[in-house]
A and B are shown apart, each in its own frame.
Chain A
């Protein structure tokens, strides 16, 4: 690099020297020519002054202007002062001319040179300012942490031709330029291609500063989003809790009534009355247990993201589990199960899908008359299709469209009795959709309903 500097410097000197010499030559020729035309020395000296000024403008340092001034003085002395073609001066006029020319030449040369430099500097400054402006606006358009970092590296390459890596992991304290945010260091910018020179340093620092600001901005955006989600979740949670409490009131009333009666009036009641109360309590409890089950499933649904523990489950296992859990309900019903001939595994959260089947079977058992036939069918094709069909009364049109909605909207519109369809179907929908499947209801032929849900056969990556 030092060698390069010398060569470049040498080249510059050569250029300047060539320029100076050529201007001198030009000026000399011009002055001789005008001299021959009879112009006086006083005017000719102006040509030399012009030469000095041009040298000042065209060369890069005042050195050359000064050299030119001296050279011009010598030339003028040699060519135009009496005695001609010698370095002696006889006339005071000529001497004065020479001396003041020298002073004027050096001063104006120096000033002009300085002016040139100032202009050049101003040009450079403007260029740098423009770069900084582009850097700042460059960061405005990038959003997202990775993009911002990539942008920084790109800008660095573009404006300094240096490659650099940005480390946002503060554990490695390497050497480099600090990237600072609002509070503390966010990372290090490490320049891979050697040390930046002074002009590049300015840009590197500007990039670091802008990067710091942009990263801060990204962090704030991310925080705001987190807060928003948390608030949404809170809201959903309170809606959910309210509906749960609502749902609990009826069965609790029934149980407390029966329980209190047994406790307080045990002796007055007849044997069969006592038995009936005990059975009532048992049955309400069964219903409550189902509700608790659904609530537990619901807690695994948080802000639209359901936490799944997916495994490749054999569909027989999951169906078996669902059937086992609903055994009591389906005991005295006409119930049949159809499974595919082959052993099929499908990625799913076994417990949750079993819950979906249980909910569908429970609905079928509870909301259809005892003589209605219930069936569970599993088919394998492009998707895994599971259908629960009944031959009951079907779903009234009024609520069909709202069937899978969250509980809250069904608060007053309850289908049968005091137990609403409640959480069951909305949970089914959430679970099925979280697996990438779909759930729907259709009319069964000749009567009743068919609830169908699908699951993808393969994991969609």
Chain B
């Protein structure tokens, strides 16, 4: 954890240690980089408001040599910084003030992405989660066993989200992956996501899989 506020780092340390994690704390970006290089931790909690360096810059440096999951901690209203961090390679973000419950949930998601690092769905032919099943070979999507018709673009987006499950994907990222650099705009992304949600979710107001982060992007939740 790279966090300069002592009170925050104290209670996070306390709760995570209680959960069984081993926590190292750094108060500056420099110290954080040092600790990271020396100990090679599994997951990084990065506060965006560090005193000596911009969190996004530190993330860039980190990403140059490590794919370790990074969760950024930001203050409310810092949409641009959040999006920049996610585009720079952060996996997820949490906004201050937060409940410990949220943080531990997101850390668990990050842990899972560690376990299946390398290989992903390479050999898998189907993906199943609760009532949703995706058959890659037959290109079919089933909800409660019933086949649902998706447009080619909707299908592509669903696959992209599942491939990055747990991770927050920004609008820009989705546009780039699906349409390339020229095509698409964020309005179309939203519309596609909304129609996907209506087709696959049982309660569009409390979605199970396709979670929206307003102003930032989308996430596929599999926990």
Residues of A that sit less than 8 Å from B by CB: 289, 292-293, 296, 309, 311-314, 316-321, 323, 337, 339, 343, 345, 350-351, 354
Contact = CB atoms under 8 A, between A and B. Distances in A.
A226 B96 CA distance: 36
Interface string B155-168: 00000000000000
Contacts of A312: 186-187, 190
Nearest to A350: B214
B172 to A, nearest CB: 13
Interface in B177-219: 186-187, 190-191, 193-195, 197-198, 204-207, 212, 214-215
Given A339-B204, A345-B187, A345-B190, A316 B197 contact: yes
Nearest to B207: A320
Given A320-B205, A320-B207, A321-B212, A313 B79 contact: no
A345 B195 CA distance: 12
Contacts of B194: 314, 316-317, 343
Contact of B190 (A289, A314, A339, A351): A314
Contacts of B191: 314, 343, 345
Nearest to A341: B198
Given A316-B204, A339-B204, A345-B187, A351 B79 contact: yes
A311 B197 CA distance: 20
Contact of A314 (B193, B206, B215): B193
Given A296-B76, A351-B79, A320 B215 contact: no
A115 B198 CA distance: 98
B112 to A, nearest CB: 22
Q: Name the 6 nearest CB pairs between A and B, nearest first.
A: A312-B187, A314-B194, A343-B194, A321-B214, A317-B212, A350-B214
Given A314-B194, A351-B215, A319 B76 contact: no
A323 B206 contact: yes
Contacts of B195: 343
19 contacts: A289-B97, A296-B77, A311-B187, A311-B215, A314-B190, A316-B198, A317-B193, A317-B194, A317-B212, A318-B214, A320-B206, A320-B214, A321-B212, A323-B205, A339-B205, A343-B194, A351-B77, A351-B214, A354-B214
B186 A311 contact: yes
Nearest to A343: B194
A290 to B, nearest CB: 10
A311 B214 CA distance: 11
A179 to B, nearest CB: 42
B205 A337 contact: yes
Nearest to A328: B99
Nearest to B195: A343
Given A311-B186, A316-B205, A351-B77, 12 more contacts: A312-B186, A314-B190, A317-B214, A318-B214, A320-B204, A320-B206, A321-B214, A323-B205, A343-B194, A345-B187, A345-B191, A351-B214
Contact of A293 (B76, B205, B206, B215): B76
A311 B216 CA distance: 12
A312 B77 CA distance: 19
A293 B95 CA distance: 12
Count chain B CB atoms within 10 A of each CB in A314, A345, A350 and give the residue with the most.
A314
A271 B117 CA distance: 46
A337 B215 CA distance: 22
A319 B215 contact: no
B207 A313 contact: no
Contacts of A339: 204-205
A339 B76 CA distance: 27
A343 B154 CA distance: 14
Contacts of A321: 212, 214
A78 to B, nearest CB: 101
Contacts of A311: 186-187, 215
A316 B195 CA distance: 10
Contacts of A319: 205
A339 B194 CA distance: 12
Nearest to A311: B186
Contacts of A292: 97
Contacts of B186: 311-312
Contacts of A337: 205
A318 B76 CA distance: 16
